[in-house]
Amino acid sequence: MSAHELNKPVPYTLHVDDELLDLTRKKLQLARYPEELTDIGDDNWSQGAKVKTVKRLAEYWSNGYDWRAEEARINAEFKQFKVKIDVPGYGPQIFHYAHQTSPRPNAIPLLFVQGWPGSFLEARKLIEPLTNPSDPSKQAFHLVVPSIPGFGPGDPAQESGFGPELTARGFKKIMVEVLGYDRFVTQGGDWGAMITRSMAIQYPQHVRACHHNMFPCGPPPWYRAPLTMGRLILSPYLYTNRELDSIKNLQYYQKEQDGYLKVQSTRPQSLGFGLGDSPVGLLGWLVEKFHEWMDVAHYAMPDDEVLTFVMMHWIQGATPGLRYYKMAFGEEGEAGTRKSFKKYLDTPIGLSHFPKEIAMPPNDWVSWVANVKFRREHDKGGHFAAVECPESLVQDLRDWFSSKTVEVAMRGEG
């Protein structure tokens, strides 16, 4: 642990050593690639990441991608800090965060929390429209974007068990004790949904409203909600088309896509020997997730964006981000991670439903565990809403957090 003083933020500039950049290029040039099966088409990703896609990206990473230029842009766009926090139940931990204040006097403090395999850069396209909207009648926000420990520039935890519950405690201290935001609202998908929900459970007096673009809850027990279970049994006849598509997305994910979850929540360190040493291995592991979880029919992730997202995990050797699954779900992890979406939370929430999201259940499932006051369905977008369709997410955040419900909650009356 460095000599940081508790709760005293220090300005931070992202910088990757030349030695790592040189080593990365050498490893990229020495990579071996698998062979595709001859009966698998170019658009068939059922075996995993496509060789031609990974090879093309790796060659560009080695010979064309300019990390230094990207690094400079990140440092120009994000006001970054590091701060040591005494996390209750754990002890001292250094956190990385970005803090973008708004010039608007009525700006609402908003905590944006990333997911995997993302980073704090997921908020990149949201900074300007949220903090300084061109239309003065639109709601503005003071935007706080912390890194989950071990993701991007976030210092990894040095002991086991640092999952969403402890992360939530650290983020709360950043918001309240470091930045002075006694009441604030949150946005999260993926890990961000779990962390911000844990924050609302632990600190409802501070977290006054939440917004999610992913909500990983199951149906309520049949004995508590027989009508909901009956509707599920008769779903081909009673569910809307959007609800049926959501169930199909979840079933496909559970059948074809959740292998990474099993490995990362059980033996992340073994996986880390490969992904933390091979930039091509990490590239293939993450590119498949981008392709499978994004609405690729409507958004093509630019090569530079792909590689910058991958760099956020490569700079720490990938393992800390993988290990977070073990912290949350594995035998060392917190029982509260899974249980947090099985108990009712009265904090008002808003939901944005993007059609390619892997976990956005029917309304009657969610209503058993959440006080849903806003829900909007979109016709395009996937798991990485802030990256794929930032305009839609920004509009939803403005509409929900400027509502009368949130206004009352922010006054402490809700």
Residue 242, classified by CB atoms within 10 Å of its CB into exposed (0-12), middle (13-18) or buried (19+), is middle
Q: Which two tokens stand for residue 407?
A: 């206004």
3-state secondary structure of 377: strand
DSSP string, 26-68: HHHHT---PPPPTTS-TT--TTSS-HHHHHHHHHHHHHT--HH
Alpha helices in 185-234 (DSSP H): 191-202, 226-233
> Where residue 220 falls among pLDDT bands split at 50, 70, 90?
confident
Model pLDDT for residues 192-206, shown as the tens digit of each residue: 999 999 999 999 999
Residues 381, 384, 389: CA angle, nearest 5 degrees: 45
pLDDT at residue 38, rounded to an integer: 93
Query: How many helices and strands, by DSSP H and E, does the chain display?
Result: 19, 9
Instruction: Report the pLDDT averaged over residues 321-350.
Output: 82
| 333 pLDDT higher than 60 | no
The C-alpha atoms of residue 120 and residue 293 are separated, in whole angstroms, by 18
pTM above 0.85, yes or no: yes
pLDDT at residue 331, rounded to an integer: 56
| 414 pLDDT higher than 70 | no
Residues 166, 172, 177: CA angle, nearest 5 degrees: 125
pLDDT at residue 339, rounded to an integer: 76
Model pLDDT for residues 254-310, shown as the tens digit of each residue: 999 899 999 999 999 999 999 999 999 999 999 999 999 999 999 999 999 999 999
| Cα-Cα-Cα-Cα dihedral sign, residues 197, 199, 201, 207 | negative
| 173 pLDDT higher than 80 | yes
How much of the chain, in percent, has pLDDT values that exceed 90? Answer: 88
| 188 pLDDT higher than 90 | yes
Q: Give the best-scoring range by mean pLDDT among 116-125, 229-238, 239-248.
A: 116-125
Residues 6+ apart with CB under 8 A from 61: 24, 28, 279, 283, 307
> Where residue 224 falls among pLDDT bands split at 50, 70, 90?
confident
| 74 pLDDT higher than 70 | yes
Q: Which two tokens stand for residue 341?
A: 């979406």
Name the average pLDDT for the chain.
Answer: 94
pLDDT at residue 334, rounded to an integer: 54
Q: Which two tokens stand for residue 362?
A: 């029917």
**Residue-level length of the chain:** 414
Residue 372 phi/psi, 5° resolution?
Answer: -80, 120
| 85 pLDDT higher than 90 | yes
- Consecutive H or E run containing 271: helix 268-275
Instruction: Report the pLDDT averaged over residues 169-196.
Output: 97
Beta pairing, strands 108-113 & 141-146: parallel
Render the burial of 267-286: b for 16+ CB within 10 Å, e for the rest. ebeebbeebbebbbbbbbbb
pLDDT at residue 412, rounded to an integer: 84
pLDDT at residue 413, rounded to an integer: 74
For residue 122, give the DSSP letter: G
Whether residue 117 is preceded by a cis peptide bond, meaning omega within 30 degrees of 0, is yes
Instruction: Report the pLDDT averaged over residues 165-171.
Output: 97
pLDDT at residue 2, rounded to an integer: 54
pLDDT at residue 330, rounded to an integer: 74
